[in-house]
Amino acid sequence: MEKIDWQAEVAKRQDALLADLQTLLKIKSERDTKHATADAPLGPGPAKALDTMLTIGRRDGFTTKNVGNVAGRIAYGSGDEIFGIFGHLDVVPAGDDWATDPYAPVIKDGRIYGRGTADDKGPALAAYYGLKIVKDLGLPVHKQIHYIFGTDEESEWVGIHTYLKSEPVPAFGFSPDAEFPIINGEKGIADFTITVLPPKQPAHGDYQLHSFTAGIRTNMVPGRAIAVVSGANPGELLQSFNAFLASHPVDGNMTGEAEGDNITLTVTGKVAHASTPDQGINAAAYLAMFLNSQPLAGLGAAYVQVIANYLAQDTDGTQLGISHHDALMGDLSASADLFYFNAAEHKAMVTINVRYPQGTSDQTINRQIVQTIGADRVTSEIVGDPEPPHYVSGDDPLVKTLLQVYTDHTGQPGHEQIVGGGTYGRVIPRGVAFGAELPDTESVMHQANEYMPLSELWLATAIYADAIYRLAQ
């Protein structure tokens, strides 16, 4: 195989790559079905991002196809076998606490900041430029290369599933949407909505909980939670709240200081990816813990008690009775991510995101939740379409090749990894996730002030170019 200086080829294209990346980062491609149209089934942002990416592909001489404005591909090469690359152009909502505009990318201190820089527009563009380098150099490829883009990976995967129903399915491939050296195993993923039932013997307290809300998506640890209560003495409640904040790793504030006012309590924690809930500080869990120490009445008391006793400060499902360990895939993780309580509507719900290893199932977990808390206190429902655990053997040539490429470019030994994150690598049996985050790099996916180091962007592009060339032989 021809010896190529991949880093030098990347260096020639740095300005062009950055320009294309900034164009994509400026598009607010959050899934937005409230503003869906026939031409934008998942919202205007995702459709615009897809059209922009395919336009870039056509500009560079690739063949493209748009599939229903929810997915598409950029194609190159020929052969009997299809090698797939799977990226996504949607992003999670920006959320709060950004130092800059999340959709006005900023380059500072060797980093590019903006929503989607690390997940997944930066890595996706790195892989695209890797493919572009192979094409620009006229290197021989003996397979069809289909770079497939989805537009709602952060939610329901409508785009990628729509694509795979109507288009040719690759025989093998990778997704540039995780970390190096490789992710060749992913835990199962399922969401469960727990509904707290009106208690048969309601608590009699002086305080009424009117509302409790937190969370943006089921794959994000909530960084902010807000509750409205009445019936409290503002001075006493503030003293108690401040004491709680002083002894726990959260910030907060209280508004409403006149006797008889509704009082609003806000707690701020730290957002994290739901696959690593231990890396976040769940604002809603702490707010529920505080409220559980107060004399609440009725359904509100039952709601915060369930959160405090079964969901707070527990990221492996032990308190919920769903913990499970597998020798290959490790431990289950559980993240309570969406909270909605409204006394007027008689609604009291929490949605938890569970990443589970082989050896258990979504149905088993759902039963265990109700058994642990009690069928007289809650119901639990599986939401959406759970993804079963996924694993590609370390002996597979795909895994071996990618690990060798990683080692050749970094000098570091490659090794298998199994994680709780879910990527498009799992959409085909011989699919893995490959980069772009390097080991020991701070993980900022889904967080405020998301960024990608430029040095990592250049290295990932070189790795992807080499990997694409080798895998297309």
Q: What is the mean pLDDT of residues 105-125?
A: 97
Q: Name the nearest CA neighbour of 187 among 199, 178, 200.
A: 178
Angstrom distance (rounded) from CA 237 to CA 222: 24
d(CA 360, CA 222): 26
Which DSSP string do the residues of 13-49 spell out, in sequence order?
THHHHHHHHHHHHTS--B--GGG-BTTBTT-HHHHHH
Contacts of 466 (CB under 8 A, 6+ apart): 4, 6, 130, 405, 408, 409
In this structure, the dihedral spanned by the alpha carbons of residues 175, 178, 181 and 183, taken in order and rounded to 10 degrees, is -70
Q: Give the architecture-level CATH label for domain 189-387.
A: 2-Layer Sandwich (3.30)
d(CA 252, CA 250): 7
Give residue 446's pLDDT: 86
Residue 122 contacts residue 116 (beta carbons within 8 Å): yes
Q: Which of 265, 270, 262 is CA-nearest to residue 244?
A: 265
**pLDDT score of 27 more than 90:** yes
Provide the mean pLDDT of the chain.
Answer: 96
Query: What secondary structure does DSSP assign to 115-147, as a single string?
Result: TTTTTTHHHHHHHHHHHHHHHHTT----SEEEE
Q: In terms of DSSP bridges, do strands 172-175 and 82-88 run parallel, antiparallel, or are they unpaired?
A: parallel
What is the DSSP annotation of 150-210?
ES-TTTT-HHHHHHHHHSPPPSEEEESSEESS-B-EE-EEEEEEEEEPPPSS----SBEEE
Q: Which amino acid is at 52?
A: T
For the record, the structure tokens of 433 come out as 């996730």
Query: Which pLDDT band holds residue 2 (cuts at 50, 70, 90)?
Result: low
Determine whether domain 6-186+390-471 maps to CATH 3.40.190.10.
Answer: no
pLDDT at residue 1, rounded to an integer: 56
Do the beta carbons of residue 278 and residue 261 sit within 8 Å? no
Per residue in 353-398, pLDDT tens? 999 999 999 999 999 999 999 999 999 999 988 999 999 999 999 9
Q: For residue 110, what pLDDT band results from cuts at 50, 70 and 90?
A: very high
- pLDDT digit string, tens, across residues 274-314: 999 999 999 999 999 999 999 999 999 999 999 999 999 99
Going by pLDDT thresholds of 50, 70 and 90, the confidence category of residue 328 is very high
Q: Which residues contact 5 (CB under 8 A, 6 or more apart)?
A: none
Assess contact for 27 and 48: CB atoms under 8 A.
yes
Question: Over the range 346-376, which residues count as b (16 or more CB within 10 Å of their CB) and which as e?
Answer: eebbbbbbbbbbbebbbeebbebbbebbeee
Q: What is the mean pLDDT of residues 101-109?
A: 98
Q: Are the C-beta atoms of 189 and 426 separated by less than 8 Å?
A: no
Lowest average pLDDT, out of 103-117, 197-211, 227-241, 256-270, goes to: 256-270
Distance CA 92, CA 234 (A): 37
State the catalytic residue, choosing from 9, 119, 153, 179.
153
Tokens of 381: 């429902």
Q: Which two tokens stand for residue 293?
A: 């120490």
pLDDT in tens, 231-253: 999 999 999 999 999 999 999 99
Measured distance between the N- and C-terminal CA atoms of the chain, rounded to whole angstroms: 9
Looking at residue 409, its pLDDT comes to 98
Residue in 90, 186, 337, 450 annotated catalytic = 90
Contact 444, 276 (CB under 8 A): no
In the block, which residue shows the tokens 């120490």?
293
CA pair distance 47, 32, nearest whole angstrom: 10
Q: Please report the pLDDT score of residue 116 as a whole number.
A: 97
Q: Enumerate the H helices of 219-361 as residue ranges.
A: 234-246, 283-292, 298-306
Q: Given this model, what pLDDT does residue 204 score? A: 86
Number of H helices, E strands in the chain: 11, 26
Q: Where exactly are the structural domains of the chain?
A: 6-186+390-471, 189-387
pLDDT tens digits along 44-60: 999 999 999 999 999 99
Tell me the three state secondary structure of residue 237: helix
Using alpha carbons, select from 423, 448, 458 the residue that is nearest to residue 85: 423
Is 90 marked active-site? yes
CA distance 48 to 38: 13
Mean pLDDT of 87-108: 95
Locus of tokens 């790559």: 17
Mean pLDDT throughout 335-362?
97
Please confirm, yes or no, whether 153 is among the known catalytic residues.
yes
- For the stretch 394-429, pLDDT in tens is 999 999 999 999 999 999 999 999 988 889 999 999
pTM of the model: 0.83
Q: How far apart are CA 144 and CA 122, in angstroms?
A: 24
Interval 20-26 mean pLDDT: 98
In this predicted structure, what is the pLDDT of residue 258? 67
Q: Are the C-beta atoms of 203 and 297 separated by less than 8 Å?
A: yes
- Mean pLDDT across 19-34: 97
